[in-house]
Structure 1
Amino acid sequence: MSSYKLPPIANLPALSTAERVAVLDALFEPCTALHTLTLDLLHTAKFQTYNDLIATVGAQLTGLAASPSTSDTEWLDKILGAHPRLGEKKVDSAQSKAEQAQLNTGGEEEAAQLRQLNEEYEKTFPGLKYVVFVNGRSRPVIMENMRQRIARGDIKQERAEAIKAMCDIAADRAVKLQAP
């Protein structure tokens, strides 16, 4: 995990744009589409807790998912696609790097299976990447979940699960990134 610490939630509206971007990037993943969707909200709204902020972002994403507009769906897919592929060696955010470290402990055969599943997932759900809150689960358990979601083939359900996973990941990060 990085040495970054989230500022007190009450300070969010007074932060600079760059500092608000850093908060979003630490909780979620670096993503211009998410910045565009949410940055102003961090400046104008007051949140009691980071979980309140995360729930609000989740509601924004769910609104995009429910929208009949193709451009809203494309916008949502950009945000969901900002997560790195599961098991990816080159990961930009310190949080994802730490979270994925436990998945990169299996052998090369498992790593190859995971790469193949990522490709199959992205072929089944164009524009998306598989997003899951790993939360200590092993690579075989995660890969089985991935297979089930590919077999289900339901893009709307997939977006809903990805939004929930993003919010679960963000809530876990918020706990770890708050100053004691």
Structure 2
Amino acid sequence: MTDYMLPEATLFRSLTEDERITVITHLFERSTELEKMIVPEFSFVMSYGELIAHSRALLLNLASESASDPKQMKVLLDILAAHPRLGARKIESSHSVAEQASLQSESEALAELNAEYEKKFPGLRYVVFVNGRSRDLIMKDMRERIQRGEYELEKIEAANAMCDIAIDRAKKLGAIFAFN
């Protein structure tokens, strides 16, 4: 994964913008749009739990607003596109590489499911909290979501998954105390 450790939450207000972006990049995937949303929040929250909960609220609100606002939809899609496709060969985030280790073997079926998902839900990326689940379980979930076919629900699922992943990463990067 990485040797990076999150700074103590008591330092949130004193972090520079670059330091805040580094924290966001470790919790989520690198996304300029997400950074614009979350960087200012460091001045108002007192823990990683609060930061991620507030990020979840912002993302869910964005998902809701995007149904009627094309600009908001573009922002949401840019944020979701920062997440690597499951089983992708080239993944830039060391966190995603570790999280997707059970999916990394060559899988034409997974590539086909990604393509089917993205055809069913134009502009969206399948995002799920893998959490050590096998490729078969993840593929079953993806198939079920494709068959369900609810675009608006997929946006919500993706936003929630991003934040569930961020909670797991925060714990692994030393923020365990924030989730008691």
Instruction: Find 1:51's aligned residue among 43, 49, 64.
Output: 49
**In structure 2, C-alpha distance between the alignment counterparts of 1:118 and 1:144, rounded to whole Å:** 12
Q: Which amino acid aligns with 1:3?
A: D
Please name the residue that 1:165 is paired with. Answer: 161
Please name the residue that 1:39 is paired with. Answer: 39
Instruction: Find 1:117's aligned residue among 113, 116, 132.
Output: 113
Counterpart mapping for 1:117-156 below 5 A: 117-156=113-152
Q: Any idea what SS the aligned residue of 1:57 has?
A: helix
Whether the 8 Å CA contact 2:81–2:124 is kept in 1: the answer is yes
Please name the residue that 2:61 is paired with. Answer: 63
**In structure 1, C-alpha distance between the alignment counterparts of 2:137 and 2:149, rounded to whole Å:** 19
Q: Any idea what SS the aligned residue of 1:151 has?
A: helix
Please name the residue that 1:95 is paired with. Answer: 95
TM-score normalised to the size of structure 2?
0.92
- Give the count of matched residue pairs: 174
**1:97-155 deviation per Cα after TM superposition (whole angstroms, max 9, x unaligned):** 111112124xx4xx000001111111111111110001121101100100111111111
**In structure 1, C-alpha distance between the alignment counterparts of 2:10 and 2:82, rounded to whole Å:** 27
Q: CA deviation at 1:56?
A: 0.2
Coordinate RMSD, CA, aligned: 1.3
Runs of 4+ with >2 A deviation:
none
> Any gaps of 5 or more consecutive residues in structure 2?
none
**In structure 2, C-alpha distance between the alignment counterparts of 1:4 and 1:88, rounded to whole Å:** 24
Whether the 8 Å CA contact 2:41–2:51 is kept in 1: the answer is no
**In structure 2, C-alpha distance between the alignment counterparts of 1:171 and 1:98, rounded to whole Å:** 15
**In structure 2, C-alpha distance between the alignment counterparts of 1:149 and 1:134, rounded to whole Å:** 15
Q: CA deviation at 1:46?
A: 2.8
Q: Percent identity?
A: 48
**In structure 1, C-alpha distance between the alignment counterparts of 2:100 and 2:54, rounded to whole Å:** 26
Q: Which amino acid aligns with 1:165?
A: A
